[in-house]
Amino acid sequence: MEEVRSSVLKTYQFCAIHYEKWDDTIESCSTSLGTLLRLTDQLECCINAPECVLTQSFPNVRHKIEQSIRHMINEELMFVQTKMEELSSMNHRLKNMWDNSIKLFFKNLPAIKTDESLHVGSELHPPMYCMIEWMDDINLIYSNKFIGVKFQLDIFDGTSESATSLRDKFFSTKSPKVVESILIKMSHFIDDPTVK
């Protein structure tokens, strides 16, 4: 039974770390997302600009400017992709930790059933399974947020509209209050020396 408690504690601790790192990672993309928006605006202006003396005198100048802007867009996208990989890695680790906790819970279920405070719980302390479910809720919240951002990144087409949608989607994926509420609720029931 101690291994279940230990696994739940470790998963809870990582949920708290994930909560902090998630927002930091999203925030770290703000400069790149703003730059992407400006670059896509510049690219559209370059593409839609009428012919002028400069473009007539130097026919390759428009193409070179376009290439340069596209290169800068790709650099910013690479940074965002790297941050997305960090988020994916955190989500994967959280899921693995949750999977381990639930497997240990069911493996030790006969022993847990003998301890009423872990199996049935009380008004003051929920059963262990509830805490595991709450951590699964956190896992699902972040998984769904990641899927939404990943989809928006996948459909990015270099237009200012797609850059705006990507930026808006990123900022809407900050950790929701429900995750904070779950962590606070769990902190009352988990014996974690780092919380006190």
CA angle 124, 125, 126 (to 5 degrees): 125
What tokens does 95 get?
């899921």
Residue 79 has pLDDT above 80, yes or no: yes
**163 closest CA partner among 59, 39, 49, 55:** 39
What's at 108, amino acid-wise? N
Which pLDDT score, from 0 to 100, does residue 161 have? Answer: 94
pTM: 0.80
Which pLDDT score, from 0 to 100, does residue 195 have? Answer: 42
Place of tokens 């972040």: 142
Average pLDDT over residues 87-96: 95
Give 56's pLDDT tier (boundaries 50, 70, 90). Answer: confident
Residue 125 has pLDDT above 70, yes or no: no
Which pLDDT score, from 0 to 100, does residue 176 have? Answer: 84
For the chain, the structural domain boundaries read 2-29+83-187
Which spans in the chain are helix H?
2-28, 30-48, 53-57, 61-107, 109-114, 116-119, 128-154, 160-171, 177-187
How far is 74 from 80, CA to CA, in rounded Å? 10
**Residue 160 main-chain phi, psi, to 5 deg:** -65, -30
Is the pLDDT higher at 111 or at 144? 144
How far is 184 from 12, CA to CA, in rounded Å? 11
Average pLDDT over residues 44-63: 85
Q: Which residues contact 183 (CB under 8 A, 6 or more apart)?
A: 12, 15, 16, 19, 138
